[in-house]
Structure 1
């Protein structure tokens, strides 16, 4: 099944990939192909919707006013989640419970608001880089999504009154412990213009315990019986302690385990925190005028091909 997702129905990357694989699948006598489209259900806006009607493909909607980075809990995100086998009911349940946990205007009772206030206060002191660093390779794509959420929501030239403010932080995606070797020198000794966010996983699905097949090498004996999960926890704690020792801003989110419920909680928490910070900074966290600039230029250039 091919599932093109594009609100306008004309997104270059989406339509290029869809057209290519649709043509290749049609040529094959071994494949039976189905298509489901996720787009604006308006024939005057989306040619993808017109194609769907013409070919009787199943359609799912992209709601007005929900930007791509915020759509993970609506049709585009849920269709993708269902396609890869996620329990979308548990995913939505996690988001709902985080929403209920963030109803208070009190910082002590609303974790997303507290997160936003602390980051806004840091931004006021010149912190303009934000690192998202889960200690789990499985969460690498979460960091990549968060890069877009932060950059597109808070990276704004003007506030709501039209004043030039150049607000926002440059997001950096990292994975522990891999990027401790790549980035930590800058985090620890570079400019104090960064906030580092760790994600710790309390329980793993699989426990990998190392043996030492090289018993004649005495320096490797310390790895015999070592749990990889324990090693990751040691690495995170060491990174955290090193940053704290030099007054470097950091935070740690702790997930009991990686599953749909807790992932729903975390993603909703991050979305809500970004939305709150937009209000604190008086910028529109839901538009992306800078993106529209290059899109218009691209359309003009494509029309001349």
Structure 2
């Protein structure tokens, strides 16, 4: 960009999203100041993996044309639900308790999230970072108990694709997983299965059906098979996948993660081991500042 335009014009094309100025040096702030670039602030008390509903997430969403008002509305809706003290009325507290108890009492050390919708696949990828980086920690020792590690390994899967790559393990492998199935019940389009299959006896049952029905049947088959093998399953239903419902679900997962940290006895908001990797990376690149 510097080759294409004068430095004085850079501020018309670049916006910086970073932490506010503070006593702790922030490299991106130095770059912003050097070129007088406009900025949006990430609140100091919000860690990166929890920052999706701050400017670091909302600004790119707005640029991409995503319904930001819908995202904010979804957060407000779920904030009311997750503010209730009752376990039965608070989905975040309930999920946190289920994960904690199954991990502690039933040795379910793996948490699988499997959406049956391409529109939700990125959510399960995001959840993998949120859960792993927040919950995988060392519980400090006390006079009566030694320090010990806690956590669950998150796995992102996609239905129906991973029925043919992971389900064999989930059904016949070690019973050490809690599986969350995400389903969408209303679709934006309808795709009919071609009538030509009516001429093939082995596939004639597909006549008059839609791909939506086939996906729903595969999803139900996965749940039925898992339950028949006594594998614990949580089923989450989206009446429609849109900005509001996705935001509700992601906001709930953030609150769930914070509560799970309380139950596991760790700080869900730090990442000491990741910081160690950053130290070694800087060292390997010749940074001797420590």
Q: TM-score, normalised by structure 1?
A: 0.85
CA distance in 1 between counterparts of 2:4 and 2:136 reads 40
Distance in 2 (CA, whole Å) between partners of 1:68 and 1:24 is 32
Matched, 1:80 2:46: no
Counterparts of 2:93 and 2:3, CA distance in 1: 49
Find the counterpart in structure 2 of residue 126 from structure 1.
107
Match of residue 147, structure 1, among 106, 128, 135: 128
Cα deviation code 1:201-228 (max 9, x no counterpart): 0101122222144665443433343222
Question: Aligned partners of 2:198 and 2:236: how far apart in 1?
Answer: 38
Q: CA deviation at 1:109?
A: 1.5
Tell whether the 8 Å contact from 2:197 to 2:206 is kept in structure 1 after alignment. no
Equivalent position to 2:149, from 161, 166, 170: 166
Give 1:8's aligned residue.
none
Does residue 192 (structure 1) correspond to residue 172 (structure 2)? The answer is no
Unaligned runs of 5+ in 1: 1-21, 28-32
1:126 Cα deviation after fit: 1.0
Instruction: Note the alpha carbon deviations across 1:45-103, whole angstroms, 9 max, x for none.
Output: 23322332333322111211211110011111111211221111211111111110122
Question: Runs ≥4 in structure 1, deviation > 4 angstroms?
Answer: 22-27, 159-163, 213-216
Which residue number corresponds to residue 175 of structure 1? Answer: 158
Change (3 A) 1:198 1:214: closer
1:154-303 pair list within 5 angstroms: 154-159=135-140, 163-213=146-196, 216-303=199-286
State the secondary structure of the residue aligned to 1:106.
Answer: coil
1:116 match: 96
Superposition RMSD in Å = 2.4
Q: Which residue, 9, 13, 17 being the options, matches 1:38?
A: 17
CA distance in 2 between partners of 1:24 and 1:184 (Å): 52
Residue 94 in structure 1 maps to residue 74 in structure 2: yes
Aligned pairs, number: 280
1:215 to 1:248, Cα distance in 2 relative to 1, 3 A: closer
CA distance in 2, matches of 1:225, 1:24: 60
- Taking the aligned partners of 1:160 and 1:108, their CA distance within structure 2 comes to 33
| Unaligned 5+ runs, structure 2 | 7-11
Q: 1:49 to 1:195 in 2, by over 3 A?
A: same
